[in-house]
Amino acid sequence: MAPSFQLVIENLKKSAHGVPVRLYGQLLDDLQSVIYLLGANVEGIHLSSKGPLPASLVDTYTLEVKAEHAGSFAAEVAFAEPQGLDVFDEPRREVLLQLEHLCRAIANRDNERLYQIIPNALLRRKLLRAFRSLTAQLGRDFSASLQLGESSRRWHFDAEAPQWIDQILTRVSEKSRLEMWGQLIELRVVDEFRFTLLSAGKEIKCSFDEELLENIIPCIGQPVSLTGEGIWSERGLERVVLQGLQRLRPGEVEMSVITCGKDRYYLKVSVK
């Protein structure tokens, strides 16, 4: 039997008993997005900013509503069984385990735990946005919770969760915080939102959210300073997830700061 869990939606108005179809459908849609992203984390699949999800991800981690239970509204949600395909339950169970860890981190406002569960910065931002959309749908009139595995504990999505998620989305871990300067030499908006920064003779890939695009376009070919979160590998700095960008004017002096663990590197530059 495929792994399953419960989604419970409660109407907080004592005078009302139903749940709007729009709310129910949106919650399930957002929950499916969370499961797909966790599946990508378990499988080690890189997802581009645009484009469809890989077929293997959809086949393995698509959910379906199995049955309804007593309560304001409760439904058992399980992974679908694709016909003609052999799907192993172990990675699906790992996804549900990560979902529980994610719920615990959000309930406890534990950002360090959040970074441990989803170390990939790009995937973590996608997940947080999906979770924020899920919790923001409830408003003040409804509450929702997940009951995972054999435990009787329910993980509740409270009304303050979206605000905390917003804070996490705008905050960068001190261990990976970067302040850099360079020339923005290339912009890519097909499949993903990314530009290339030429800094100290090296080309560095920088990913960014779509809403920052209009601020980046005027900076093409120009010297800029930026702040962001560095993604590192054994080979060094692989990519920067952009947090802020500023065009440098002639005559300005900027200090480029790179933090790696306990080490901080400084480089002072004057723009002519």
pLDDT tens, residue by residue, 87-101: 778 888 889 889 889
pLDDT tens, residue by residue, 219-235: 998 999 998 888 766 67
Question: In sequence order, which ranges of 111-239 are alpha helices (DSSP H)?
Answer: 111-117, 121-136, 161-169, 213-216
- Is residue 215 scored above 60 in pLDDT? yes
Work out the pLDDT band at 46, boundaries 50, 70, 90: confident
pLDDT given for residue 184 in this prediction: 92
pLDDT given for residue 25 in this prediction: 86
Choice among 64-68, 120-124, 143-147 with the minimum mean pLDDT = 64-68
pLDDT given for residue 211 in this prediction: 80
Q: Exposed, middle or buried: residue 151 (CB in 10 Å: 0-12, 13-18, 19+)?
A: exposed
Work out the pLDDT band at 266, boundaries 50, 70, 90: very low
Domains assigned to the chain: 4-169 (no CATH), 174-270 (2.40.50.140)
Residues 6+ apart with CB under 8 A from 174: 259
3-state per-residue secondary structure call for 77-104: EEECCCCCCCCCHHHHHHHHHHHHHHHH
Read off the tokens for 39. Answer: 């599946």
Cα 69 from Cα 83, distance rounded (Å): 27
**Contact indicator for 198, 186 with CB cutoff of 8 Å:** no
- Is residue 269 scored above 50 in pLDDT? no
Q: Which residue has better confidence, 193 or 87?
A: 193
Read off the tokens for 79. Answer: 């992974």
**Bridge partners (DSSP) listed for residue 258:** 178, 265
- Is residue 194 scored above 60 in pLDDT? yes
Q: What's the whole-number average pLDDT of the chain?
A: 79
